[in-house]
Structure 1
Amino acid sequence: MSQEPSNLLIVDDLPENLQALDALIRDDRRVVYRAQSGEEALALLLDHEFALAILDVQMPGMDGFELAELMRGTERTRHIPIVFVSAAGKELNYAFKGYETGAVDFLYKPLDPDAVRSKVSVFVALDQQRRETQRQVAALERSRREQEVLLKELHATQQELQRSLRMRDEFMSLVAHELRTPLNTLFLETQMRSLQVRKGNLAAFDAEKLSAMVTRDERQIKAMIRLIDDMLDVSRIRSGTLSIRPAQVELMALLERVVSDLSLQAAAAGCTLALTPHAPVAGCWDEFRIEQVIVNLLTNALRYGGSRPVEVSVQDAPGQVRIDVRDQGRGIAPEDVQRIFEPYERGARNGEPKGLGLGLYISRQLAQSHGGELSVQSKPGEGSVFSLTLPCPEAPAASVQAAA
């Protein structure tokens, strides 16, 4: 039961009557408001909720019946129980008129104290029960809303779990696929060499052919190492243990070396790879990690560029430098722009997924760990521009940890 007191309204034009009635009904669980006219009573009714209104019938100006009619005509006050009191004789039939206006009782003066206290106690108890019921209903409604929120969160969690399970299964399938290709090549090479050895055909292992074999083996082994390194990098990023070791780096020399190293891959893809000339740009970065990002962006551009030219350019401004890798491929749909930076997501724009879908995720994390950013601008059919923006601090900074 509520511990808040119930409000009672008593209306009488005589102060002594108000004082006597107040003394009769007041206690710790009640707050009694007095009004000497209908107008004063209406003002109180607008400001407070009342458990009971005790109205004197005969008052100058607005009498008790008129006040009751106004109360019954207003949504805010029509539920308040009304008890009329009157000093007029019963022959005037005021009681009938009182009940007709919606009163719950009619008392004649002089009042019976026990009867008055009893009736007030009943209506106070009803008011307490009503308010407690309202509180319980409100609590149930809050509980219902909280349950709805929890159900939505549970549903979202279930969907995320299902997505994680799908990603896990797809990831395992991709790992098996990506590792099987170089392993199958190495296995076939080993089988062929074993066959030549068994036949005694040592001419198959002359210097030129042996060099080609070693080159092919290195290429397949490096492919597997890259896959394993990507998986390790994701683990380090998520655990916050991927260390960045800044040192002074000349960016244009790094880009020239990477473009030169990838020129054969560009030729195999049937396109050209060009670096726009630019003055030397020095900065304090982890050279190995920046090269890792650039190689990933160029590899993607060659893979998805539709055998069209790929351009690398540098734009510098006070305090920062931006490397743009531009291709002229199919572009990226707007709904996929953020998705491709998530782990295990792949562009798959040529119909067949390649790689584990970790490159852009790792590259963005590496950019952010340097205090920079990796972004993309693309429209379907118009190609893509991936931009790596890096700060150019004046002096080497201490080693930092990549953001998880």
Structure 2
Amino acid sequence: MSRAQGQLAFTNEASRDVALLEYGLDPSRDSPLLPNAAVLSALQNLVRLATELCGVPFGVVNIISAHYQHQIGAWGVEPGVCSRDDSMCAKVFLSREKTVVSDASRDPRFADSPFVTGEIGKVRFYASVPLQTESGFVPGTLCVFSDAPKELRPEQVGMLEVLAKQVVELLELQHRTAQLDRTYSELKESNAKLAGFAGRVSHDLRIPLTTILGYVELVEDDPDVQSGTVAAKYLDKIGASGRRMLAMLEDVLSYSRVGGGIQPVYSSLKEVTDEVVRDLGIEDDDVVEVQDVTVYADRGQLRTLLQNLMTNAMNYRSPERDLRIRISGVTNYHGATIYVADNGKGIAPEDRGKVLEPLVRLRRPGDGPGTGLGLATCSSIAKAHGGELTLSETPGGGLTVTVTFPAGY
């Protein structure tokens, strides 16, 4: 929000309530205007400190909406909601200046307030500091008061202003949290729509594609089609292209589903790796070496990640040595870090950022088939779990993929 927008919020009541909603604060009368629990606890501690520094029994953070005053972070009183017309702070908070009154019953601004006359309270000493954000928006005040007249020393007023700035920092934290919550909600909705769309497109395209491939196989088996003829070469090209397209559809569908419905559980890295090894048809026991650790992750997505990484190792093996893949990990209170290291061609440092982008292939001589979505999918799986994926060189040659998975609490 710009300063001009903040100024508009001062005078336009509808804009004020919209601005409060941006901070995750519901300004309606029926829904109490409260921050999240962590912010609320911190606000209460700041208000308590303000009352002790000023030597008064009561303090509140007042949030002023279009029609109401909401007391939050209260100390010495139960937080409540009152009409903005009855609020003492509502009379002065838009001035953006501190207000210190030793006896409110003698001040013409407050003498007829129900908080002073006894209708709601009998406030005498009253001091408030507006809560002004960097954008110029003033959502309310930090207020301390007493039922007896009192004077504040200049240093006490100064400390009250410092604490008001800390309250603003907490409200800004609430603001950023609300923004992140909205962004996360929108992202989940977008991912769900993407997965649904990809599923429909994949289904619609796979049916005719598998039909075509079926007819190709039937014709290839026809004894009238001689091996090495022009017809056989065309059929071979059609079949190869169709199978590449089918693999691409599966990869796109897998990529679109990442993060759409994560259900993390504690899984054995060795058990999941053994499943992938069987699925990939790796029969040589010397190819894959695995060290077992426990990983807190969605088991299906962990399986997809390992399958993609091992498939890449097979597709980009070095012609100079037998393929070896070592899968290991470490765990601590932060979570688990797994390493998938191969002895293949590796990836040059300048290309490691590019290959994590969707549909990017290096197209080097001798590389195996691929769609350019394997590493991008693995990176998305790591991010969806709150971790990250990085690439480095295996000592002696090859690629090491490092993936972190945060701990589950």
TM-score range, shorter chain: 0.3 to 0.5
**Structure exhibiting the larger radius of gyration computed from Cα positions:** 1
Q: TM-score, normalised by structure 2?
A: 0.39
TM norm structure 1: 0.39
Higher helix share: 1
